[in-house]
Structure 1
């Protein structure tokens, strides 16, 4: 967005363009998706460097794996399937209305807004953009002010690759975000904290703007009671720890806490330490471990640890000897044992490399523990017993689930991604994202010959006989 523009002027330009070309064809949509794909491919190194600068440190390899790769996959999936998504879908017609025909047509909503968080600023801009552009919309993106280098670079790249009435990127602080959320978009997608999600939804309500809220919460990882094999247990711990340590735990679907059978706590810690040692041999200096985004979040995480310690919790270093460094905001992963429900680390989304462990006596207790809390964005269950797996799937409610691993459901382009209740509203990715950013228009086509002409005034004996027959 040109710096001389106001948000309102930028929005008006997008809205006017959408109204003048309300239903771009496949060629136009594919061109826009290809432009986004080339933008990411051609500037991957610069984007990774910008993210690293915003974090203080984040591995370029991790940015390629967790942001650029899934972004490319989302765009390519949309391009591969877009013709089919755009086709009208035939629907059935009741016998009484034959030989009429019914269909659903998908049309662009118009001008939509996307609000991007700081933790994955590339992927969480590109994935919803792929859906919105595939659906034929004009888009306005608000990048996070906590990732200013990425925001500046992405805005510059978009300005060079898109017309300003196709796609605009907005930078700025919280006041700009507030103004952005008050614009009368045809749809608004927000990714961020539950607390901010309340404000976004209130602002959107003034314009009756429909919203998709991708929030967060406390995503549990459950190790099943039947996971008795040493290798299966070791695999579960490895996948939980790796999922937690990605981006130093600053992931909305990171495992937030672990539920495991009582008596397995020490086995978990031993295995977790070996995983950390293998992945991050010198965690204080390795290039593969991310730092915490800023001093405020670093202090928040340290305060969680100190509150838990003061309450009698046991704090276990997964990289023994590595110490937290406030100067670099590098915080080695910690396991917390004996943490009470009243502690902030068990009440708030952690968003960092702290992993509380809670033992349970039986699976009933574990399921009840999850169900007493707000519905999470993600749930992870580790077991080889299909009956137990089905039970957890049927008896818990969460935005998404990965079985015998963590994180990976978000990378499946043919699965919807979204939360439930406090963890979010609505979904996107793949065809579900295309539909989220489309207006679904129901169309009925009347036949030249139709018995409906018999149902008209003046109502008399024939009408009575026909309606009695219909209602029999």
Structure 2
């Protein structure tokens, strides 16, 4: 065990060392397969304290990894999210743990039917770079609330944050309970191939396919949070300036590197110019300057910055019109980026096929709600869908005629912060959920249990058949 534990921070951790860690966790879990509510609350309290007591060090690491990371955004999206989630889970887990009574048919009487919620065992968690703290500790908190042990694969794109979190977790939990793995794509591939009792992956759909394929070799159940192109429809009855303001906030948060960020927006055709002007005004109000602005987060890496630039240039070559929201040139040495508005787009552009994951925002003029719905339904089912408008009938039309992981009316993204709502995709945007009670259920086995007393009424249905048995069956069948 010591050899495996010492290898946790090794970038070249072997597949055998990973297997040894999993074996140690399985052995530890077997010693206490049904931790009490008090034990689970204590684990959540330790996790919360670990994050909050090390805020400055963690924020410094994330700021270095992103080249610039807004302190306010980190407090809101990383630390507050962890704090609120752990409190929410602690308050409710005892209730969720209680066996549930279920109906028992007349012919099964006397007896009792119950559903018994049992921890799965060892959960694997694969973390993306965009919110490296919350997307590691959020799933971990839910897994701990359900009574599990966990192994966490941190992203290689955030090396300082990933290394620090590995150290903090090692100081807080035994490696046989919770452990962090760091390393590159080869380590990630080996990690996904481990026979976990459940595997949760958050990231790109292209990688999710490989994760699911590897998990299938062990028949490991998976939860996939994959993102996608989350559309926005701005209705004619919603104030266009306010829509631009709310959308500018959500699209610029974390430099657009959010799986539920607005990916493209349907704007009433007659209000396109007004929306563009209002969006620019909102940005300049939020961020008077880009250079050295501590409120702005940078693109995670030069590779991702070049990816965005390449997609934009390709769209321009296909006829798109690209408009920076400010003329300022960024030269502060960071990867802060001036957001771009893109018009005259079509579905053939890579920009309109792939999740953008950056501060680039396509705008599509439209004339009718059905037109927007048809366009959305012509693509993959998104992780989120946003509608800005007050007409109840049209809101219901959006709910009934589209599929998405979640829907928000007159705002964006914040459904993810509602701890009591399930979060997950549908189809290409993912499968399964891990927020709210649904998250507890994801990491639990609902075991069916039937209790029978000394007197067994079922013996009335034993052979030889005929006579009383047939009369009873005819009565029950009706």
1:436 paired with 2:446, answer: no
1:123-202 equivalences under 5 Å are: 123-202=134-213
In structure 2, distance between residues paired with 1:327 and 1:283? 12
SS at match of 1:457: coil
Displacement of 1:325 after TM fit?
5.4
1:368-387 equivalences under 5 Å are: 368-387=374-393
Displacement of 1:279 after TM fit?
0.5
In structure 1, distance between residues paired with 2:87 and 2:340? 38
Displacement of 1:98 after TM fit?
3.1
- CA contact under 8 A between 1:132 and 1:434: conserved in structure 2? yes
Count residues in correspondence: 467
TM-score, reference length from structure 1: 0.97
SS at match of 1:57: coil
1:262-301 equivalences under 5 Å are: 262-301=269-308
1:243 paired with 2:250, answer: yes
Which residue is equivalent to 2:11? none
In structure 1, distance between residues paired with 2:469 and 2:105? 19
- CA contact under 8 A between 1:49 and 1:60: conserved in structure 2? no
Which residue is equivalent to 2:372? 366
**Residue of 318, 336, 354 corresponding to 2:325:** 318
SS at match of 2:65: helix
What are structure 1's unaligned runs of at least 5 residues?
none
Which residue is equivalent to 2:233? 222
1:72 paired with 2:83, answer: yes
1:24 paired with 2:27, answer: no
In structure 2, distance between residues paired with 1:90 and 1:425? 28
Which residue is equivalent to 1:427? 433
Residues 246-265 of structure 1: CA deviation (Å, up to 9, x unaligned): 01101111000001211211
In structure 1, distance between residues paired with 2:317 and 2:330? 18
In structure 1, distance between residues paired with 2:7 and 2:372? 55
SS at match of 1:427: coil
Deviates more, 1:279-288 or 1:33-42: 279-288
SS at match of 1:264: helix
**Residue of 339, 344, 357 corresponding to 1:333:** 339
SS at match of 2:6: coil
- CA contact under 8 A between 2:66 and 2:335: conserved in structure 1? no
TM-score, reference length from structure 2: 0.95
1:3 paired with 2:10, answer: no
Which residue is equivalent to 2:262? 255
- CA contact under 8 A between 1:291 and 1:331: conserved in structure 2? yes
Residues 447-471 of structure 1: CA deviation (Å, up to 9, x unaligned): 4445322101111222222222222
* Aligned-CA RMSD value: 1.4
In structure 2, distance between residues paired with 1:326 and 1:353? 18
Displacement of 1:3 after TM fit?
3.3
In structure 2, distance between residues paired with 1:19 and 1:196? 32
In structure 2, distance between residues paired with 1:345 and 1:331? 17
Deviates more, 1:451-460 or 1:79-88: 451-460
Displacement of 1:327 after TM fit?
5.2
Which residue is equivalent to 1:94? 105
- CA contact under 8 A between 1:197 and 1:215: conserved in structure 2? yes
Q: In the superposition, relative to structure 1, how do residues 416 and 434 fare at CA in structure 2: closer, same or farther (>3 Å)?
A: same
- CA contact under 8 A between 1:13 and 1:165: conserved in structure 2? yes
- CA contact under 8 A between 1:225 and 1:363: conserved in structure 2? no
- CA contact under 8 A between 1:225 and 1:362: conserved in structure 2? no
Displacement of 1:101 after TM fit?
1.7
In structure 2, distance between residues paired with 1:326 and 1:214? 34
